[in-house]
Amino acid sequence: MRGLIIDKDSKGTIAVYWAITAALVILAALFIHSPWFLIPVLAVLVAFAFFVFWFHRVPDREIPEGDENLVTSVADGEVVVVERVYEGEYFKGDCVQVSVYMDFFDVHTNFWPMSGEISYYKYHPGKYMLAFLPKSSEKNEHSSTAIRNSHGEVFFKQIAGTFARRIVCYSKEGMRVERGHQCGIIKFGSRIDIFLPLDAEILVKEGDFTKALITPIARLR
């Protein structure tokens, strides 16, 4: 087992929040003279600083082997959508959408759902609606990635939410990726939409909770 690993692209974010917290601690110590009030305030500030650090962790999970037709979850969270939809950006046709919603307490590090080659990538600026709303898939800031291998293709979106205003995505068209390795991170509440071919065997249902790398989402035919 390795020690706690923090996302490499989040260290600056953590430093900013810690600097703000340190300033608030100093101000509280200077202006709050009652220990009955000061101690709880300091406890909340320290807890918040720890939460920011813990939030940006990269979980230590075993990388799955074999079954290259298996699609694993990109993120931790609750499955909020499993339905047939028309996908107009990449597949340009009907497919199955599986959406995973991440709340504040879920791991927000994202992982490649399968091994293959990045066949498409695009970043879309946009709004910051609540991530669980259906329109957020198209209206909110998001990045779009398609992966292709000998078993088929998977298309997924990293979608920002009301508080998640930074998406980090490592996708580059033509690059080779391996399932189980990190593909990015979305900060503070967000969602993943995964689009699968109609003939894929869907292995989750609405209300299920997924873990990135561990939970199988679908099996390509």
To the question of pTM greater than 0.85 for the whole model, the response is: no
Pair of tokens at residue 128: 């910051």
The Cα 158–Cα 141 span in angstroms is: 9
Residues in the chain: 221
The predicted pLDDT at position 1 comes to 45
CB 111 within 8 A of CB 182: yes
Told to judge if 73 belongs to the known catalytic residues of this protein, a careful annotator would answer no
pLDDT in tens, the chain (221 residues): 455 677 677 677 778 878 989 999 999 888 888 989 999 889 998 888 887 777 777 777 777 776 788 999 999 999 999 999 999 999 999 999 999 998 877 777 899 999 999 999 999 886 655 545 555 556 678 899 999 999 999 999 998 865 545 788 999 999 999 987 889 888 766 889 999 999 999 999 999 999 988 899 999 98
CB 219 within 8 A of CB 71: yes
Q: Which member of 99, 136, 143, 190 is catalytic?
A: 190
Strands (E) located in the chain: 5-6, 57-58, 70-72, 77-87, 93-102, 109-111, 116-124, 142-149, 152-160, 167-169, 176-177, 182-186, 190-196, 201-202, 209-210, 216-219
